[in-house]
């Protein structure tokens, strides 16, 4: 399957950043089957907020009602876990994020 990428331009007042989020396949349904989405933000939380602005339905796949990440959602920044900082973790131009879903079952 070919990965599709969404290129978003910053709006007025936003700094141009190149941050890519690799979307977990179980969440493609919320991103119009796009595997990689470009976002803007200086923290992980801001980047995810920008992702939700582009694809509002993805919010239900990432966040609990209290605004925290769902317990089975793990975000990696440049292949390192964002835990324990998570949403407050600083993000730099050129960083690559990966959304993973920790599944368990029998």
Confidence of residue 1 (pLDDT cuts 50, 70, 90): very low
Say if residues 77 and 89 touch (Cβ distance below 8 Å). yes
State pLDDT tens for residues 24-78.
999 999 999 999 999 999 999 999 999 999 999 999 999 999 999 999 999 999 9
Q: Domains for the chain: give ranges and CATH numbers.
A: 4-101 (3.10.20.30)
In 10 A of CB 29, how many CB atoms?
12
Average pLDDT in the 94-101 region?
97
- Tokens in use for 17? 């950043």
Q: Is the pLDDT of residue 2 over 50?
A: no
């Amino acid at each position: 399957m070919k990965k599709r990428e969404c290129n978003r331009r910053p709006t007025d007042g936003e700094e141009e950043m190149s941050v890519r989020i690799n979307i977990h396949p179980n969440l493609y349904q919320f991103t119009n089957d796009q595997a990689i989405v470009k976002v803007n933000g200086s923290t992980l939380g801001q980047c995810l907020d920008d992702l939700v602005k582009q694809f509002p339905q993805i919010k239900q796949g990432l966040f609990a009602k209290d605004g925290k990440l769902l317990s089975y959602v793990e975000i990696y920044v440049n292949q390192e876990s964002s835990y324990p900082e998570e949403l407050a973790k600083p993000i730099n131009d050129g960083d690559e994020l990966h959304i993973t879903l920790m599944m368990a079952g029998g």
